[in-house]
A = this chain, B = another copy of it.
Amino acid sequence: MSNVERQLEDIKEQIESEVPSDISISDVTYEGPKLVVYTRDPKTFAENGDLVRRLASKLRKRITVRPDPDVLSHPQEAEEKIMNVIPEEAGVTDLDFHVDTGEVVIEAAKPGMVIGRHGSTLREITQQVGWTPEVVRTPPIESSTVSNVRNFLKQEREERREILERVGRQIHRQEMSDDEWVRITTLGCCREVGRASFILSTPETRVLIDCGDKPGAEGEVPYLHVPEATPLNSLDAVVLTHAHLDHSALIPLLFKYGYDGPIYCTEPTRDLMGLLTLDYLDVAAKEGRTPPYESEMVREAIKHTIPLEYGDVTDIAPDIKLTFHNAGHILGSAVSHFHIGDGLYNVAFSGDIHYTDTRLFNGAVNEFPRVETLVMESTYGGRNDYQTDQADSEDKLIEVIKETAEDGGKVVIPAFAVGRSQEIMLVLEEAMRNGDIPEMPVHLDGMIWEATAIHTTYPEYLRDDLRDRIFHDDENPFLAEQFNHIDGGEEERQEVADGGPCVILSTSGMVTGGPIMSWLRHLGGDERNTMVFVGYQAQGTLGRRIQSGWDEIPMNERGRNGGGRGSTLKLKMDVETVDGFSGHADRNGLMNFVRTMNPRPEKVLCVHGDESSTRDLSSGLYHEFNMRTFAPKNLETFRFK
């Protein structure tokens, strides 16, 4: 008997001694980090409301209870009963019965009503039919990404179960080493913005954190080929802090290189990663570059994803527990906390953070049970990187839009599809509702519409009051009628260009390609129009150049046949920068994140920023808080314990 099997036998005995004698336990297995308990008496189990929580706390594991397939009622019969239990207002749109596991996935417009107070409705479902219900939200705005991901996972259920079982055995394997150390190796994004990637390692385990590309420097990927990272198939886990491409773009590449293990991230990060990496491949193809991997690899990544919620403490290796916390940066973005060994050491990776609340998100979490080392982003870590208050920024943006409209011009805003676009949408919706700017169309081009749909699918990840507005008061601001999805291509753009005042939100956020190029052509030559930058423009991007005064823009259009014609656009439109909308904390926010952090870490590695920003932040933190701080280079290894 292998060690894992012995372990499961022990656990089964423990559970049997814990549950009432009228509940029989037929099997206990690992599925990824979770312990799955099969019972022939699911209804009796469900009657003992507190039992699962008691077992979980005793065994220090996440537990799912499922009915033994032998005792399942017929799906058709179960469906009828389930629909009787759930109130009609819940808006159930789909029921999916998994005979192999005894689970039924219920898709509903209002998942809360399926769950009931403290899960009472769910328990009632089990008591009635024996099946274990799982609830997902019906996207309020139709999202092809969400439905594609869900359909794909449905279709791959069998392989996915195998993966989860394998991962489960890996996580719960016996520890081999009696040595103790904790190290971080930097594979990218040190003294630069882009290609975020780190390895956290112990004698037992290696975890890769993020694997992004570098905007404006195609081909500069993380150092995945150095011995610290290879062979990739011996990595224990990959953790993705959020879906932006400078953190996620090369996650699918790992599967091409032989990685076959789990990707841990939040559910919205999984879906957004799918959206953004597929677009990344599209863009590469359109620009005539060979994409680093095929779309098949994106599917592999999604298939291997184990979604975690904020606050779930999850075993990802024999000696590492991972917990995600809200990072305030984009939907699903997570500060990733690693608890290593049995109280040996704790490391938090900030990922990208926003310290204060924004319209979309609560500010980043900086309270942890323990943390000795913080790896922190430094995008705006420079000594003078102070941003305008968002209220002032909003006033400025509204002013620019008002003036441009009064001149009969149009405002075009290059924005990341994910994050800043939705923040600006909320600003515009409110300003129009309050009459601060005249009602006018707001056109959403590129993937912004789709990204917005994903936001509305996961309101739990949005700021408290926004979530309440969307789901309790039924006044979803993203559904306001000003918002128009540009889905008619060049023709529609031409119409918009020929029409009256309006606002256009378009990707890419750094003007490196995508429909924004088309808008430049349509609107760039007219001095009545205004381009407004609302996000960070990396070195080497066209956005950065326009921002710093370039007005002769080379326009290379590539036809479908790959041929290109070059021309130059004389930029006459106004160029404005409104800098308070960044998804990143500014210098102040970063310092405050550490100042109010509880507990305060002993060491901080300042990464994810230009060389001067990381050095400035490192020295600022050292002088203000007298902690050990570093501005690492790529390819260095730090040992903490």
A476, CB-defined interface residue at 8 Å? no
Closest chain B CB from A220 CB (angstroms): 10
A368, CB-defined interface residue at 8 Å? no
Q: Are A636 and B637 in contact (CB under 8 A)?
A: yes
Number of copies: 2
A463, CB-defined interface residue at 8 Å? no
Q: Which residues of B contact A634 (CB under 8 A)?
A: 639
How far, in angstroms, from A634 to B180 measured CA to CA in the complex? 12
Closest chain B CB from A639 CB (angstroms): 5
Closest chain B CB from A37 CB (angstroms): 37
How far, in angstroms, from A512 to B509 measured CA to CA in the complex? 68
User: Looking at the complex, which one of B206, B228, B636 makes contact with A638 (CB distance below 8 Å)?
Assistant: B636
For A632, the closest partner residue in chain B by CB is B639
How far, in angstroms, from A229 to B69 measured CA to CA in the complex? 49
Q: Which residues of B contact A183 (CB under 8 A)?
A: 635-636
How far, in angstroms, from A230 to B226 measured CA to CA in the complex? 11
User: Looking at the complex, which one of B206, B229, B230, B635 makes contact with A637 (CB distance below 8 Å)?
Assistant: B635
Closest chain B CB from A588 CB (angstroms): 30
Q: Which residues of B contact A229 (CB under 8 A)?
A: 227
Q: Which residues of B contact A636 (CB under 8 A)?
A: 183, 636-639
How far, in angstroms, from A639 to B230 measured CA to CA in the complex? 19
A280, CB-defined interface residue at 8 Å? no
A185, CB-defined interface residue at 8 Å? yes
Q: Which of A176-213 contact B (CB under 8 A)?
A: 181, 183, 185, 201, 206
Q: Are A635 and B227 in contact (CB under 8 A)?
A: no
Q: Which of A584-641 contact B (CB under 8 A)?
A: 633-639
- Most B CB atoms within 10 A — which of A206, A229, A637? A637
Q: Which residues of B contact A227 (CB under 8 A)?
A: 201, 206, 227-230
How far, in angstroms, from A488 to B339 measured CA to CA in the complex? 61
Q: Are B185 and A637 in contact (CB under 8 A)?
A: yes
How far, in angstroms, from A315 to B637 measured CA to CA in the complex? 28
Q: Which residues of B contact A639 (CB under 8 A)?
A: 633-636
Per-position 1/0 for A209-250, Cβ under 8 A of B: 000000000000000000111100000000000000000000
For A228, the closest partner residue in chain B by CB is B227
Closest chain B CB from A414 CB (angstroms): 32
Closest chain B CB from A546 CB (angstroms): 31
Closest chain B CB from A236 CB (angstroms): 13
Closest chain B CB from A198 CB (angstroms): 13
Closest chain B CB from A89 CB (angstroms): 56
Q: 21 A-B Cβ contacts within 8 A?
A: A181-B635, A183-B635, A183-B636, A185-B637, A201-B227, A206-B227, A227-B227, A227-B228, A227-B229, A227-B230, A228-B228, A228-B637, A633-B639, A634-B639, A635-B637, A635-B639, A636-B636, A636-B637, A636-B638, A636-B639, A637-B637
Q: 5 more A-B contacts (CB under 8 A) besides A185-B637, A635-B639, A636-B637?
A: A183-B635, A206-B227, A227-B230, A228-B228, A636-B636
Instruction: Pick the 10 closest A-B CB pairs, nearest first.
Output: A637-B637, A227-B227, A633-B639, A635-B639, A636-B639, A227-B228, A636-B637, A228-B228, A183-B635, A181-B635
